[in-house]
Structure 1
Amino acid sequence: MELDPAGAELKSVLNRLRRAQGQLAGVIRMIEEGRDCEEVVTQLAAASRALDRAGFAIIATGLQQCLTDLEGSGRSAEDRDEMRARLEKLFLSLA
């Protein structure tokens, strides 16, 4: 299952990941500067949420692509079940 980075959904994901990257750099800088623990944890939580949302968006995009591919592919029920299990495992890894 390959992702098409030109898709609008994935452009949004890339923007979200870049934002999270900036937040993580900010968290590192805050720790190095000895900033208040509450401020650091707040920023870390924001970065974590951004990463989670990006992961869910990637999985949702993958699900949509796979379901479309599976419907028109003529694959066996076993292949479809295997793909469904793989996607379920990916989804649960973020939960």
Structure 2
Amino acid sequence: MATTGSNYVTSKQIQTRLKRSAGQLDGVLRMMDDGRPCEDVLVQLSAVKSSIDKAMKLVIARNINDCTDGLAADSERQLEHALDLLLKTK
């Protein structure tokens, strides 16, 4: 993931993730209305949860990046690496 100053994580990326999550949640509601099996509903709810978790990590990464603007180059590389690891974790 490349860093471009305060655009490390954009609002657009976060909004896209949240819109996807909202669509998945709408799908879960439709599944329930259709009487789909509990197991199917739970699988989709797990996907929604994972998507929301990712959105939360993006918000955190953006905030950290914004708060640490102006770091020395070496410190910035270390922060970028830490943020990449954060975004890859579940």
Q: Same fold (TM over 0.5)?
A: yes
Counterpart for residue 51 of structure 1: 52
Large movers: runs of 4+ above 3 Å: none
- The one-letter code of the counterpart of 2:60 is I
- The one-letter code of the counterpart of 2:41 is V
For residues 44-77 of structure 1, the C-alpha deviation after alignment (integer angstroms, 9 at most, x for no partner) is 10011000100110111001101117x6xxxxxx
1:66 aligns with 2:63: no
Structure 1 unaligned regions, length at least 5: 1-6, 72-94
Provide the rounded CA distance (Å) in 1 between the counterparts of 2:40 and 2:13.
27
- State the TM-score, normalized to the length of structure 2: 0.65
- The one-letter code of the counterpart of 1:44 is L
Provide the rounded CA distance (Å) in 2 between the counterparts of 1:9 and 1:47.
21
- State the TM-score, normalized to the length of structure 1: 0.61
Secondary structure of the 2:36 match is: coil
**When you count helix as a share of all residues, which structure comes out higher?**
1
1:34 aligns with 2:31: no
1:20 aligns with 2:21: yes
Secondary structure of the 1:68 match is: coil
Count, aligned residues: 65
CA RMSD of aligned residues (A): 1.9
- The one-letter code of the counterpart of 1:26 is G
Aligned-pair identity (%): 37
